[in-house]
Structure 1
Amino acid sequence: MTNPLPLILDGDPGTDDLLTWMWALAVPDRVKVLGICTVHGNVALSRTTENALALLDHLNAPVIPVHAGEKAPLGRAEPPAGDGAFAESGLGALVLAPATRKPASYDAVGWMADTLRSHPPRSVTICATGPLTNLARLLERAPDAFARIGHLAVMGGSCDLLPPNHVRRGNITEWAEFNFYMDPLAAQQVLNSGIPITLMPLDLTHQLVSTPDRLARARALPRYGEEVALMLDAAAHLDRPKFGANGAFQHDMTVLATLLHPELFEGEQSQVTIATTGVGSGACLRVPDPAGAVRVMLRVPDPAAFFDRFFQALGEP
């Protein structure tokens, strides 16, 4: 039996981040969560941090440190307006009790640097499910620590017209995916840093939909079923009118799934460039390149298997 993978979770919860973190906490034999870092994104930093702490309380999780990170994108004092996908709370229809614990620190970047330096080089994996501001600041402030990252799994970007209706390339603008739109400079810097990266863009995540039968499976879970169903369905009110979807697309969980079950996805090594200014800010240009450092996942041959793995991890009977 192999040792659990040392893992840092970095995100902007947001219900899809929380689903990812629930999955990670449900498989301690596969991953060891070293800590959680929060960043601006779906809602303000104070709210994303509160949501992370509240989820840990709700799950009665072990004491996992939560570190508050960057409150605004590179070069800005405040983040741009989001799309309100998960309401003012970041939780959609889900209601969690106020957190009883406080952040372990308000310096996520410093904590990541210390953690990476205290582990063997290339032994720690990071799952990034929000804007990449924390990672860009780590690259800027502690390049030696950044270089010790073993693998970075990122949810972000889009490469082509998106299914199922193929009329737009982005979910926040016509051109851009939300995470990269919120900090395009950070995305450009991190994706071109040279470390091993797996990118899970909208082209992939739009193949994973919380259909009514999948919501029914969620509600039937022995624990937290109603909460999981609410989170799986949280963005359906946007995804249906924009894309003609039969439910909500599932984005952030793919970063953990590609680590636990890489056989679920197909992709190719690429170079990725992010537009950082103008009307297309946040848009992706992908060039296939066997020598590229970014593996872009583009296909889910069996979407049902993805949901099977998720529900099994959460204890489906």
Structure 2
Amino acid sequence: MAPTKLILDTDPGVDDVLALFLLIASPEVQIEAITVCFGNTTVEKAYNNTFKVYQVIQTHLDAHPEDAHRFPNFRKDGHRPHYAKGAQGPLHGQMNLAEYFHGPDGLSDISTTHPQYDVEPSFWPIDNPYLNLSAKPAHEVILDILGREPAGTVTLLACGPLTNVSRALSTSPDVFSRVRRVVSMGGNLDVPGNTSATSEFNFFADPYAVRHLLEEVQKVPSPFQFTLVPLDITSKHTIMFDQLIPRDAVDGEGRAAQLAVPERPIEAFISTLLRRPRKVLSQLGLTDDFEMHDPLAAWYVIRSAAAEIATAEGWKTIKRKFVIETAGEYTKGMCIVDRR
């Protein structure tokens, strides 16, 4: 079957990058556009982080060309996803970033600790070999893709705050309603938050965008499916850090150690990204595992790519009624569920 066309709206931090790797490695989808917003870090740094992913894949394939088949969305048949920068902050209210967890660059501060991952100048030209760099803002690129493709064929996966998505909907409800479905990693309905006692980060970062999307989803000319992948499910899907980072990757002083079997480029990159979250979680007294928030949302999109409705084998969707608290003193970003 032909792959499902996908727009990825993201704020590349650590788990966003893992989701992007997964999508690039999945033939079930074809990435039409990647749009970036603020969130885990500033939009400028987040924009740069996507280049780092593509650069490390190329470095990996230069060393291991036999792995080319593992990345069907990497320079596939010359297809280059459109790449655009979007919202620098929320629709309203104070900007909050998740740099406390993801580091000042969004990727565990590798810009300081591992400058070898900085983006080479060859990645920046307009004729970038991997991405079709756009001068348009993200929400316009989203609308361009939805307008040119047949209605009901493009999935929009949002792994960050919903600001770009909300702006696209506001700009042209008619065009936006051509989307097949919007899948959002965000929110928490029946479990605690991960940014405050009541709120998940993406919804906390721009609750006004979430409220707008929820209010308008049934008003557009053709109501679209809005599927939430909340903490209720993502926090249950974890991988132990020692399965993601080689046990002897660091010595007792926290310095990089000599591995018995050297890590391949992508393995080394991911190990580097995950050390800061591991340290932060340890300092908080939490278990030594990593919650796969954005990768799980990406996996849902991949597994349901061929489904006519927002379900796939092994998955179940439940309709829930809730509103978003936008400015509560203690509950900003909270999903207020109608439990009647």
Q: TM-score range by the shorter chain?
A: 0.7 to 0.9
The corresponding residue for 1:225 is 267
Give the counterpart of 1:42 among 40, 47, 60. 40
Residue 201 (1) aligns with residue 199 (2): no
Residue 7 (1) aligns with residue 6 (2): yes
The corresponding residue for 2:307 is none
The corresponding residue for 1:245 is 287
Structure 1 letter corresponding to 2:87:
E
**Offset of residue 82 of structure 1:** 3.3
The corresponding residue for 1:211 is 240
Q: Secondary structure in 2 aligned to 1:17? A: helix
Structure 2 letter corresponding to 1:36:
I
The corresponding residue for 2:323 is 273
**Offset of residue 24 of structure 1:** 0.7
Q: Distance in 1 between matches of 2:339 and 2:295?
A: 24
Q: Distance in 2 between matches of 1:255 and 1:217?
A: 26
Residue 82 (1) aligns with residue 98 (2): yes
**Offset of residue 120 of structure 1:** 0.8
Deviations 1:49-91 (A, max 9, x none): 1111222222234243210011110024x62343521110100
Residue 140 (1) aligns with residue 170 (2): yes
Over aligned residue pairs, what C-alpha RMSD do you find? Answer: 2.5
Q: Distance in 1 between matches of 2:81 and 2:55?
A: 10
Q: Secondary structure in 1 aligned to 2:323? A: strand
User: Does the 8 Å contact 2:241/2:278 carry over to 1?
Assistant: no
**TM-score normalized with structure 2 length:** 0.75
Deviations 1:224-250 (A, max 9, x none): 112233445553334445572232211
Q: Distance in 2 between matches of 1:243 and 1:159?
A: 24
Deviations 1:171-202 (A, max 9, x none): 11111111000000101222341320221111
Give the gaps of 5 or more residues in structure 2.
Answer: 59-73, 126-132, 219-223, 250-260, 304-311
Structure 1 letter corresponding to 2:162:
L
Structure 1 letter corresponding to 2:184:
V
> In the comparison of the two structures, how many residue pairs are matched?
279
Q: Distance in 2 between matches of 1:145 and 1:110?
A: 11
Deviations 1:246-267 (A, max 9, x none): 3221110111111223445444
Structure 1 letter corresponding to 2:163:
T
Looking at CA atoms only, which structure, 1 or 2, has the larger radius of gyration?
Answer: 2
Q: Distance in 1 between matches of 2:20 and 2:322?
A: 27
Give the gaps of 5 or more residues in structure 1.
Answer: 162-168, 290-317
User: Does the 8 Å contact 2:157/2:183 carry over to 1?
Assistant: yes
Q: Which has the higher contact order (CA 8 A, sep 6+)?
A: 2
User: Does the 8 Å contact 1:210/1:233 carry over to 2?
Assistant: no
**TM-score normalized with structure 1 length:** 0.80
Task: State the percentage of identical aligned residues.
Answer: 25
Structure 2 letter corresponding to 1:82:
A
User: Does the 8 Å contact 2:39/2:97 carry over to 1?
Assistant: no
Give the counterpart of 1:122 among 136, 140, 152. 152
**Offset of residue 145 of structure 1:** 1.6
Residue 184 (1) aligns with residue 234 (2): no
